Structure formats: C-alpha cells, structure tokens
Amino acid sequence: MAATTRLWCEHALLPGGPAERVSIDVADGRVVSVAAGVDPAVGAQRRNGVTMPGAANAHSHAFHRALRHRSQTGHGSFWTWREQMYDVAAALDPERYHRLARAVFGEMVLSGYTVVGEFNYVHHRPGGAPYADPNAMTEALTQAASDAGIRITLLDTVYLHGGLADDGYLALFGRQRRFGDASIEAWAERVAALAPDPRRLVGAAIHSVRAVDPAAITAVARWTAAAGAPLHAHVSEQPAENDQCLAAHGCTPVELLARSGALAANFTAVHATHLNDSDITLLGAAGASVCLCPTTERDLGDGVGPARRLTDAGAVLTIGSDSHAVIDPFEEARAIELDERLVGGQRGTFDTVELTATMTAGHRSLGWHDVGSIAVGQRADLVTVALDSTRTAGSQPGAVSEAVVFSAAAADVTHVMIDGVSVVENGRHDRVDVAAELAAAIREIVGHVSA
C-alpha cells in the first residue's frame, strides 16, 4: 500500500457542512479517513484557510483563451466575436494547441479546478483534411491536461453543417471545414480509433442544432448511451438559434433534442439561456445537467438563463469557463446568484450550499462519479482557499462557506491536490510556469493569425 499523506485543515467543507480542525488522510489517490475537531498529528501537512473539494469545469474551449484581450474593443455581438474565434482556430495545429492548452489547463488548476470537460471541435487541418493521426488534436489536449496535472473528459464534438436555414442545413464553409467530419459515421469511426488512455474519459458533444441534424443527433445519443458516456450540447445560447430551429423544425432546440433521443441523465445542456416553459420542464424531467457559464455569457452579451427555475424543475446546475474570459470557479458560482438578483430584484435565490454544489456537480456530468466530496473512498481532489487575503480577511468561523462563495477568488487558492498528488503549493503550480507559457503560446498563435 502507498504511503499515507495526512493533511490537517483549519476548516473544511465536508458533506455535512463546514467543519473545523479536520484531519484528512490520503492514500492511493483517495481519501481514506476524515476526522473533524482534532488537533494536528505529528508530521501532518497544515492547511490554513478552508479546504474544499476540487471544482469541475464542465465546459471549456481551451483555444478561446487566446481571445481574452483581443475581443474587447469596438461594438458587436456573439456573432462578430465568432469571426475572431474562427481566426484563432485557423492558427492551431497539434503542437501549438498542446502548448496553449497546457498553459490554460495550468491556469485552471491554479484557480481550483481539478477536472475539465474539453468541448473540442477543432479536429482536422485547415481546409478539412485529416492529420496523419486523425485524432492528433485530441491527443494534444490529452497530453496538455496530463502535463498540467488536471483530469480531463474529452467531449469529441460532432460538427457536420455550417448553419441552419429555413429550408435545411448549410454546408460547412471556409474556416469551419476543419471542425467537421464527412458524416456521422465518419465521426464515429474516428472516435473509435482513439486508443484507451487512463488519463482521460471520452464523451461526445453535439455542437448545436445549427451544426448537427436530427438523424445525427439520434446517432450520437445512441453512441453515448451504449458507451455509458456523457453527452453535451450548446443549447439556446442565442435567440437567433431558437428562431432558426423553429423555422426549420417547428420546435425549440430542447424539443428537437428530446425528439431525437438526446435528453437523459447523461445529457448536459450548455448555456440554456433562452428557454421557454416546456424546455425547462423537459430538461428537469430528464434529470439532465445544465452548464451555466456566467462569465462568458455576460462577456458575449448572451443573457441570463433561468437558473432557479431549472433547478426547481429537477435539472442539475454545473459551471464552466467556456471562452475563458475569466477562469475562476468562485466567480462562476456566485454569478449564478448575483445574476438572479439583477434579473429578479431579490437576494438569496440560491444559498451557499446550492452554489458550492454547482462547483462540484460537473464531475458527474463529465462521467466522474467518485469525486466531488471530502469523504472516505472519494478521489482526493482537495483545494485550499486562504481566509486571510485582502478579499477574505475578516471571515467569521461560522461563515466560511459564504466567504468562499461570495468573497474568494482564484488568486486565493493556495494548495491543490488532484488524485492525491500535490499540483499547487503556496499558490504556485509545480509543473507549469503558467503566466510565461500563456504569454508565449498566445503570442505565437496571434502572430500566426496576423501573418
């Protein structure tokens, strides 16, 4: 048996609620004992502040990180931002993507994320020709996650069409061509060629009802059901998507997904910003997850989704950093409540128990069912947050959850353990010089875009 690592935590968020003076023993990557109200044992590693389960980033497009500072001038909308996104995507190759993603995943770890769901649709060469290894981009992302020490679910994305018109689907055009496989059968064949790899799980994603037709939605839903894999999709991010779906199919995107067999407990609707009552009922009845990405949704002007109504209907809320306008799970979680306050004029729509749950619920939606709480038998994903920073100073012992959700930021993360392995110590990633690698990778990609 592997040696036991013993942590002693000033505070910890346990399944029963916050606790003080908590001893946590870790062996073979898992929690083997938890005891509250104890003094530190000899040799225990002290964790001041509050230790909590690692957060799950249920929706990421790693390459969007290169846009963070480049898309903030002038007027526009989601659709004009998308043109800039296409430019960055066109500059990627497996080597560049590995370097960028390694740094982006490192930034996630520093912020307290311990798993990422990478919604990857950049599959082929510019122009659409496959690489010699048709899954070269997936392998680059897998290696990047391994380098950064984060657990990953690769959500291999089906992207077959260039848009949706009243009379049917449009062909992929220009810079979209590298996103698409020739058919749903070609997508399945490519994914089947992925070698088993203990460093990742593989799931599937439907890019959107604009890019995937109903027959293909049914096929990928059956694939995930047979594989026991997660299935994600962008859903109703923009009113224009709803209008196009209604004109072409006579229903909303959620209704189309339901008709096509996609809605189930393994399904995650990403964004779900512009829903009607029937959509909310369908998602809740399916026990589906809904991944809210508030920092991206506000950055792109998408709007505010009906978070409380989704939860009340039975859907499970998760969070994602999506375009990486911000990488900060605390900001994503509290934004769910703060956005509800702006829309409804009422405080306290979500309590801190519900909001901290959104930070860990993404593990399930990404196919990891043995992680997300500090309990015996769970994977040892442990994140420690300082309670003496300029943001959290003055926190009261009985309100550490409130301090974490409503005051803390990514910069307050001091220690991160993933699968029992220490990755961040005293606020520093032990494998990646994140700031330097981000700067170098983005400079290279932006230079290629400008060339």
Look at residue 270 and give its three-state secondary structure: strand
Contact 332, 293 (CB under 8 A): yes
> Given phi > 0 = left and psi -120 to 50 = alpha, else beta, which region is 121?
alpha
User: Which amino acid belongs to residue 327?
Assistant: I
271 is catalytic: yes
The catalytically annotated residue of 59, 123, 207, 271 is 271
Which helix (H) or strand (E) element contains residue 445?
Answer: helix 434-450
Measured at the CA of 206, the angle between CA 200 and CA 207, to 5 degrees, comes to 100
User: Which amino acid belongs to residue 154?
Assistant: L
Contacting residues for 93 by C-beta, under 8 A, at least 6 apart: 125
Please provide the DSSP assignment of 176-207 as one string.
GGGG--SSHHHHHHHHHTSPP-TTEEEEEEE-
The catalytically annotated residue of 322, 328, 339, 381 is 322
Which helix (H) or strand (E) element contains residue 15?
Answer: none
Give me the residue label for tokens 């013993």.
Answer: 6
CB atoms within 10 A of CB 274: 22
CB atoms within 10 A of CB 2: 10
Contacting residues for 408 by C-beta, under 8 A, at least 6 apart: 330, 385, 386, 389, 391, 392
> Cα separation of 245 and 303, whole Å?
19
Phi, psi of 200 (to 5 degrees): -150, 160
Which residue, 234, 230, 189, is CA-closest to 211? 234
Give me the residue label for tokens 């249920």.
Answer: 58
Contact 359, 108 (CB under 8 A): no
Which helix (H) or strand (E) element contains residue 264?
Answer: none
Catalytic residue numbers, as ranges: 271, 322
